[in-house]
């Protein structure tokens, strides 16, 4: 079983590709077949399937086959883990920037400087 850090690595690696991000953006609106996902893209169906396999390996997408149609859908838990990690980073940076802002707007007059 993968630990939390390895899972995040897979998610961010999968989302590091523009095509995979566009597939995720489409799937956020609802499930779609592989052919529906491939339709607007300028690549072969096999290439789209490879991108979907990367997303599936990262836990971002789940697919199921019924007859000849493979339907994909988002698995929100993997995206929530990434969102949670990004939120913690944002909070840490906001705190640091707030302290910097306080320092920079501190007392404007010091000894030896006229007011």
Please give the Cα distance from 101 to 115 (Å, whole number).
21
Give me the residue spans of the domains in the chain. 4-91
Q: What is the DSSP letter of 114?
A: -
Q: What is the pLDDT at residue 92?
A: 66
What is the value of pTM for the model shown?
Answer: 0.75
Taking phi over 0 as left and psi of -120 to 50 as alpha, with beta for the rest, 112 belongs to: left
Q: Does domain 4-91 have CATH number 1.10.10.10?
A: yes
Q: What is the pLDDT along the chain (115 residues), one digit of tens a residue?
A: 457 788 899 999 999 999 999 999 999 999 999 999 999 999 999 999 999 999 999 999 999 999 999 999 999 988 888 888 888 877 767 777 777 777 888 776 455 455 5
Sign, CA dihedral 23-27-33-37, equals: negative
């Amino acid at each position: 079983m993968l630990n939390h850090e390895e899972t995040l690595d897979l998610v961010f690696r999968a989302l590091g590709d523009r095509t995979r991000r566009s597939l995720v953006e489409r799937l956020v609106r609802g499930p779609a077949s592989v052919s529906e996902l491939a339709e607007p893209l300028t690549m072969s169906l096999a290439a789209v399937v490879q991108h979907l396999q990367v997303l599936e390996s990262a836990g971002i997408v789940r697919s199921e086959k019924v007859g000849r149609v493979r339907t994909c859908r988002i698995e929100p838990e993997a995206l929530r883990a990434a969102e949670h990690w990004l939120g913690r980073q944002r909070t840490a940076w906001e705190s640091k920037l707030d302290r910097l802002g306080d320092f920079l707007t501190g007392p404007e007059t010091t000894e030896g400087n006229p007011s």
